[in-house]
């Protein structure tokens, strides 16, 4: 089925992944460890330009929501079916981000901050293993004023489905609220992600405000357990937690909520209408695994690509598992030219 232009909108923190193969001396110089993910400190800051000057450097548009939107766009293969908003800086990395979104077929309306540089994530690769160093920077500067501009609000009006990951709660809860309320008032679908244990733990109030508007909530087993723990639910049973999340109160105009919890190589759990279903994932032999960076984002992207076409929950989960399986066989959140999903 053909999808309408701009049917799916995402908002989030755009980070440019700067990925390069380095050596042990480079790791030692910047005091970084493989298989680690950290936030940048002052000592790491010169590293970004050094990576950018390497001959094998790859620029990959990253950030959780942007990854999901790009994967949905790739699965749909209809130019302009998706759009995205977030904040970048006025610099060469910002230009890379714009080029990357355009090449992916995503309509991106970036808010360009005059003072902060574009958020980046350094991806240092040695022998196929990677270390991530994230610097939010401009991504942290998104303002709801940008969203309210007519040319940007038009993307909200056009979209029938809007996805915003939990990470954006730390940046612009006001923007999330505006979009969530619009969706409720106009019978549209609003999707959200638990995103990280620290969001569930330390941004609970912001999360609570958004949840009544959420039609589909995604998360993984670790996030689901923390979500339950901070609410004193006294259970670590993921099926039980998924069911309880699906049954939390709904805003006026919302009919039901579906909770979708992934568990790595274990089955995906879907709770809706008071029932729980599980779906097996596609298992991948160890030797084919490149990195799991972006697997959860890709799952959401695959899921969304079918949901916007009105497909069944089974088809949505199947597409999510397919997309995640492809992404873990590529570096970062990248994919082959065309999907092979049916």
Q: Mind telling me the catalytic residues?
A: 297
Q: How many C-beta neighbours within 10 Å does residue 333 have?
A: 25
Name, in order, each residue with C-beta under 8 angstroms of 123's C-beta and a sequence gap of 6 or more: 17, 18, 19, 20, 60, 130, 131, 132, 293, 331, 332
- Is the Cα dihedral 281, 282, 285, 291 positive or negative? negative
As a whole number of Å, the end-to-end CA separation of the chain is 13
User: Is there a contact between 223 and 196 (Cβ–Cβ < 8 Å)?
Assistant: yes
Q: For the chain, how are helix, strand and coil distributed in percent, rounded to 5?
A: 40, 25, 35
Hey, what are 87's tokens? 């904040």
User: Is there a contact between 231 and 207 (Cβ–Cβ < 8 Å)?
Assistant: no
């Amino acid at each position: 089925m053909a999808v309408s232009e701009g049917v799916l909108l995402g908002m989030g923190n755009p980070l440019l992944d700067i990925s390069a193969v380095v050596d042990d001396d480079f790791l030692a110089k910047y005091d970084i460890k493989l298989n680690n993910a950290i936030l940048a400190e002052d000592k790491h800051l010169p590293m970004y330009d050094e990576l950018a000057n390497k001959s094998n450097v790859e620029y990959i548009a990253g950030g959780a929501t942007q990854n999901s939107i790009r994967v949905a766009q790739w699965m749909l293969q209809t130019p302009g079916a998706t759009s995205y908003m977030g904040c970048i800086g006025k610099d060469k990395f910002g230009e890379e981000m714009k080029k990357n979104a355009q090449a992916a077929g995503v309509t991106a309306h970036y808010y360009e901050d005059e003072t902060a540089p574009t958020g980046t994530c350094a991806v240092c690769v040695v022998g196929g293993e990677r270390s991530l160093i994230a610097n939010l920077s401009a991504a942290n500067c998104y303002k709801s004023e940008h969203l309210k501009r007519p040319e940007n609000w038009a993307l909200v009006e056009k979209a029938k489905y809007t996805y915003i990951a939990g990470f954006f709660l730390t940046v612009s809860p006001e923007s999330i609220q505006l979009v969530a309320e619009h969706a409720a008032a106009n019978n549209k679908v609003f999707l959200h992600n638990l995103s990280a244990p620290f969001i569930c733990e330390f941004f609970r109030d912001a999360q609570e405000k958004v949840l009544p508007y959420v039609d589909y909530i995604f998360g993984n087993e670790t996030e689901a357990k923390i979500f339950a723990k901070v609410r004193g639910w006294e259970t670590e049973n993921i099926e039980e937690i998924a069911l309880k999340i699906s049954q939390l109160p709904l805003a006026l105009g919302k009919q039901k909520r579906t909770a979708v919890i992934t568990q790595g190589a274990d089955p995906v759990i879907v709770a809706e209408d008071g029932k729980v279903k599980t779906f097996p994932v596609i298992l991948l032999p160890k030797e084919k695994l490149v990195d799991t960076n972006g697997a959860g984002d890709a799952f959401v992207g695959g899921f969304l690509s079918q949901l916007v076409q009105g497909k069944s929950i089974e088809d949505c989960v199947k597409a999510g598992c397919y997309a995640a399986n492809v992404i873990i066989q590529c570096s970062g959140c990248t994919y082959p030219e065309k999907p092979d999903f049916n």
